[in-house]
Structure 1
Amino acid sequence: MKIERKIDEQFLEQLVNTPGLSGYEQKVQRLFRKKIRPFVQNLETDVMGNVFATLNPSGSPKIMLAAHCDETGMMVKYISKEGFIYFHSIGLDAHLIPGSRVQILTKNGPILGIVGKKAIHLQDSDERSNIIPIKDQYIDIGARSRAESENLGIKIGDPILFDYYYSQLGANGDVTGRCFDDRIGVLIIYEILKRLAQDPPKAQVVGVSTTQEEVGLRGATTAAYKVEPDISLVYDVDFSMDSPDSDEKGHGIAKLGEGPIISIGPMDHKVVDLLIETAADLKIPIQRIAEPRNSGTDGDVIQITKSGVAIGVIGIPCRNMHSYSEIVNLNDVEAIIKLSVEFIKRIEPNFKNLP
C-alpha cells in the first residue's frame, strides 16, 4: 500500500522511547500533553492519569478516541543477599526475558541490568528445552550484596523496562520499538486531533490517552465514565499474521502494510459499516478480523459504560507483540489517521447510534 505520509515521526520516536510501565505513565502523559496542547480547547488529567484532549467542546455528538499509553515490563519484587534483583512480569512471556538488557527506573535515575542466563555449556538436556519460570529469573546489576543494590537506590516496586529503542527497519515503512503497544495508538490520536484542528468537525472530539490497560483496562473504565461518549473509536495493535510462525486459520488474514484492521463482532454495526464505507471511498484497503467476543482492548469497557457506547475498534498490524522489538508499518498508521479524520467529518449532529 502506497500512501503519502504526514506523520510526526520525531514525536513517535519520543513516545516509544519514553518509559511508561502500567501505573508509571506520568512521563509519557506529560509528553502527550505538551504536544497536543496547541490543537485543542480543553486539556485535563484525572486521578488515574488519563489525559483528555477536547476539540470543539460545544459540538455534537461526542466522539471519544481512545488508546492506552502504558507498556508491558517488570517490577522489582525482591533483592537477594548477593544483590540480584528478582521481579514480577507485566504482560511478558517468560522465554523472552533471559539474556536481555533492562533499565531499572529508580528515583535516583535508571540503572542498567542484564537478565541472567546460564551458559548453554552448563545446562543439562532438560534445562535446554524448558522455559525458565519468571520466579527463578533474576537481574544482574553488577552489585555484590543487597546493601550495595539498595545503596544504588533500588527499591521494591521500582519499574523495569527493556533497554531497546525506536529504529527504522528496511525500506517499506516498517519501524521497530519497545512499546508500539500502544504508543502507536496515542500517536494516531495526536495526529487526528492536529489535522481536525485545521478544519473542525461538527462533532465534539475527545482524545484520551488512557492508562493501566495492560493490568485490566483500568484507565479506560474511568475515562469513559467521565466522558460519556456517544461514539468511541479505539486504537490498539492487532496481530500481523504474515510471519513464518503465524497461523492465519487461528486468527485471520492480516499483514503489515496492507491497511487498517477493522474488528467485526459485537461492536456497533453502524460505526463499523461507516468505517468500511469511508475506507472504500478513500480507496484505503482494510483488513477484516472476526472478534466474536471481547476484543482485548479498551473498547471492551468503553462499550458497556453507563447506558452503552457505539464503538469501533481499529487495529494496527503488529509483529512480535509484547516483546522488546515490536514491528508496525507507518503506511498502515497514516491510512488509519486519514480514515479516522474523514469518518469523524461525516458524523452529523443527528447521528443515530441505536441499532
Structure 2
Amino acid sequence: MDDKNFAFLKELVETPSPSGFEQPAQRILRRELEGVADELRTDVMGNLIARIGGAGQDAPRVMLAGHCDEIGLMVKYIDDNGYIFFAPIGGVDPHLVPGQRVYVHTAGGRVLGVVGKKPIHMIEAKDRETVIKLKNQFIDIGSSTRAETQALVAIGDPVTFAVGLERLQGDRVTSRAFDDKMGAYIVARVLQEVRRRGAPPVELFGVSTVQEEVGLRGGTTSAYGIDPDVGIAVEVGFATDYPEMDKKDPGDFKVGGGPIIARGPNINPALFELLMRTAREDEVPCQVMGAPRATGTDANVMQLTRAGVAAALVSVPLRYMHTPSEVLSLADLENTVRLLAGLVYRIEDRKQFIPN
C-alpha cells in the first residue's frame, strides 16, 4: 500500500462514525470519490452512493457495499457530580470498556474523558470476576458538577474510543473501527481502480452504507433504491490464527492469507465460482468460508431485495473484532481490491447468475 492510500485509510478509520452519526466519515469518502464517479449522492438514510456507468446498453447493475459505521457509546445521563452514564451503539463488549480513554463528540468538538473503575484493591475477591454492566459504567471528563458537564456535553452525543491507526510489525496495523470502515475504503479503492482501467461492462455502484451495526439498515434501503442484479458485501471476517480461537466453528482463517470468500445459501453459487475463478486467474490469494445460514452482513439484505439479488460476501480477516485494537494485514486490503476490480470486468450478463 502506497503512502497516499495509507493516509486515506488512516484518516477514514480515525474519523468518528458511530451508527447514526456517520457523516464525518462519509465526507472523507465523498472527497476521495469526487471526479471518480459519474454520479455521487447521499440518500435520506445517509448512505453515500457512487455510480460509474457501464459500456453498452442494459448493462448489469453491480452493487459493492461496505458499511462505514462503527460501534460506540451514547450519552444517556449526567449525574449531580458531572459523571456521564452511557449506552452502547452496536455490539460493545462491557469487559473492555473500564479504564479506556474516550472522546465525546459534541457540537463544540471532541471532549476527552476516561471510563472510571474502582481500583482492584477495593473490589472484594468474589466480585473481581464480575463484568460491570454498561449501564453502571461512567465517563469522567474532569468536571465537578452537572452544570459543568452540561456546558460541554449533550444527551445523545456519540462517544468513541480515543485510539487510532498504528503500525505493528511487517504489514500489520491496529486500530479501532476497521469493522467496517475498511470495507468502505476497499469499495472506494475499487471504484478508483475501475475508473483507471476504463469503462466496465457493468453499471457499477459503490455504496458506503450506514447503520449496519444496529440492524443492516443502510444496506437494506440502498439496495432497494439501486435494485442491483449483483450485490457484494465487503466486510471483516473472523481471523482464527491466534490463541484460544476454536477453528472448528468459524473455520481456519489467517491474517495475511488473503480475502475470505463466503459460500452457502446467502451466496449465489455462480457468483461464488466467478470470484474463485477471478482469484485463480489474477493470482489473488484467498480463503473460503462455509456459511450455512444467513450471514449477519449487508449480503443478507441485498440477497432478499425486491425479487432477489445474486449476492456474495468478501471479507478481510480481522483479529480482535469489536475491540479498540483490531488487527489486519494491509496486503489483505490490497488483494481484496484486486479481486473485486478483476471480478467487475468478468461479469458479462445478468443471466449468468441464474442457477441451473
- Global fold match (TM > 0.5): yes
In 1, Cα distance between the equivalents of 2:85 and 2:339?
45
Gaps of 5+ in 2: none
In 2, Cα distance between the equivalents of 1:123 and 1:209?
45
Deviation string 1:163-213 (CA, Å, 9 cap, x unpaired) is 000111111x11111100001111111111101102221111000000000
Corresponding residue for 1:145? 145
Corresponding residue for 1:221? 220
Matched, 1:44 2:41: yes
Instruction: State the AA in 2 paired with 1:308.
Output: G
Listed as ranges, the matches of 1:194-343 within 5 Å are 194-198=192-196, 199-266=198-265, 267-343=267-343
Instruction: State the AA in 2 paired with 1:236.
Output: E
The alignment covers a number of residue pairs equal to 350
**DSSP-derived class of the 2:236 partner:** strand
Corresponding residue for 2:182? 184
In 2, Cα distance between the equivalents of 1:237 and 1:55?
25
**Kept in 2: contact 1:67–1:209 (CA 8 A):** yes
Corresponding residue for 1:159? 158
In 2, Cα distance between the equivalents of 1:230 and 1:39?
22
Instruction: State the AA in 2 paired with 1:115.
Output: V
Quote the sequence identity (%): 43
**Kept in 1: contact 2:55–2:200 (CA 8 A):** no
Corresponding residue for 2:26? 29
**Bigger CA drift: 243-252 or 222-231?**
243-252
Deviation string 1:231-257 (CA, Å, 9 cap, x unpaired) is 011101010001112111121000100
Deviation string 1:2-56 (CA, Å, 9 cap, x unpaired) is xx76971110011011010100001111111111111110111100000110011
**Kept in 2: contact 1:6–1:334 (CA 8 A):** no
Gaps of 5+ in 1: none
Question: For 1:56, which of 53, 68, 92 is the aligned residue?
Answer: 53
**DSSP-derived class of the 1:182 partner:** helix
**DSSP-derived class of the 2:25 partner:** helix
**Kept in 2: contact 1:41–1:57 (CA 8 A):** no
- Structure 1 residue 117, shift from structure 2 partner: 1.0
In 2, Cα distance between the equivalents of 1:123 and 1:226?
54
Instruction: State the AA in 2 paired with 1:270.
Output: A
* Runs of 4+ residues deviating >6 angstroms: 4-7
In 2, Cα distance between the equivalents of 1:55 and 1:328?
29
